[in-house]
Copies of this chain bind each other. A is one copy, B any other.
């Protein structure tokens, strides 16, 4: 072996010595700052190349105070919503010279607090967080107090004045509920992973300005306009696991509740719910109507294709990264992003089984 396996990495000092210049000059040439004559620069660079010099970013960061790393905290990187956003963040941050330290919390608040802690210790230059809870913010406040920029993805947090990049979904949700109401549905269920103190949704309870709150707001408005009462008992939160979703769906479909339509808050929930619906032997949309949030490619391949509410997830990711980058650079930045969800009508919504008026109308037209 020509190179010993355990060898010290070459440093600026090594390069400087061989190139016969001062450590400072070598550092300047290597770091690309300060004033260096082209003669010295080329000599230093050549020696560095020969010696296989690689700058130690840890040392550099310690001096400059910038790590050129951003911390991203999400609930579940496996969820297509987040992996797409992550892709966008990565695509945007990389060309700007930032790398991404990714922490997955499994939608657990304690893990999120821990994540923030780690990122602070590692001195990331900025944070992108999709917070689990909207009303527990001590750890997020600590980030803000640290003076490093934080941009929230998807959900705002009560009393925290930071940039929030999210999708306006009240209107799309309104339209979805309206569509269902027009078809004769009244018992419309909504299932979400959103963490809440209770699994049930009380209208009095504030869900903050989370997307879920917006969506329920849109639904309420549709019910109000239709002169019907919003079935708050059909809203289910904390739908974290496959099992819990299966249970929820069973319960919603059974007598006391008897949902005739289900709106799934994201694709992960939808997949579990659809599985359970199939298990129950129900056919969409004849027995049950279905709407899912997020427009994934496979929704078009189902029979019938799913009616969905699409969100500009990639664009959201780009926006959140762009905003953060501007903040980290200390630049003025006040772009107004206007992302809104959009209802895409496909085939999974129809009249409920026993809505006589609708069925009558259908039988006439068919």
Partner of A76, one of B87, B123, B278: B87
Does any Cβ of B come within 8 Å of A244's Cβ? no
CB <8 Å contact, B83 and A78: yes
Residues from chain B with a CB closer than 8 A to the CB of A106 are 91
Which residues in B have their C-beta under 8 angstroms from that of A301? 271, 274-275, 278, 298, 302
Q: Does A77 contact B (CB under 8 A)?
A: yes
* Residue A55 CB within 8 A of the other chain: yes
In the bound complex, how far is the Cα of B121 from the Cα of A55, in angstroms? 6
Residue of B nearest to A56 (CB): B123
* Contact yes or no, A87 B94, CB < 8 A: no
- A118 interface contact, C-beta 8 A: yes
With A78-B84, A274-B301 known to touch, is A58 a contact of B122 (CB < 8 Å)? Answer: yes
Copies of this chain in the oligomer: 2
Among listed A33-41, A43-51, A95-103, interface-contacting one: A95-103
In the assembled complex, A254 has its CB within 8 A of some CB on chain B: no
Q: Contact between A94 and B83 (Cβ–Cβ < 8 Å)?
A: no
Q: Are A91 and B67 in contact (CB under 8 A)?
A: no
A57: chain B residues within 8 A (beta carbon): 121-123
- Which residues of chain B have C-beta atoms less than 8 A from A123's C-beta? 56-58
- Partner among B55, B67, B90, B296 whose Cβ is within 8 Å of the Cβ of A58: B67
**A79-91: contact bitstring with B at CB < 8 Å (1 yes, 0 no)?**
0100110110011
Kindly state whether residue A61 has any CB partner on chain B within 8 Å. Answer: yes
- A87 x B104 contact (CB < 8 A): yes
Looking at the complex, which one of B54, B59, B102, B272 makes contact with A102 (CB distance below 8 Å)? B102
Q: Give the distance in Å from the alpha carbon of A61 to the alpha carbon of B54 in the complex.
A: 16
**Smallest beta-carbon distance A239→chain B, Å:** 15
Ordered by A's residue number, 18 sampled pairs between the chains whose C-beta atoms are within 8 Å are A3-B145, A9-B146, A55-B121, A57-B121, A58-B58, A58-B122, A59-B62, A62-B62, A69-B101, A69-B122, A77-B86, A78-B84, A80-B83, A83-B83, A99-B103, A99-B118, A271-B297, A302-B303
List 11 additional contacts besides A78-B86, A91-B104, A274-B301; criterion CB under 8 Å: A6-B147, A7-B147, A58-B58, A69-B122, A78-B83, A78-B84, A87-B104, A99-B101, A99-B118, A100-B101, A100-B103
Question: Which A residues have a C-beta under 8 Å from some C-beta of B?
Answer: 3, 5-7, 9, 54-59, 61-62, 67, 69, 76-78, 80, 83-84, 86-87, 90-91, 94, 99-104, 106, 117-118, 120-123, 145-147, 271-272, 274-275, 278, 296-298, 300-303
Those 3 A-B pairs whose CB atoms lie nearest each other, nearest first: A83-B83, A298-B298, A78-B87
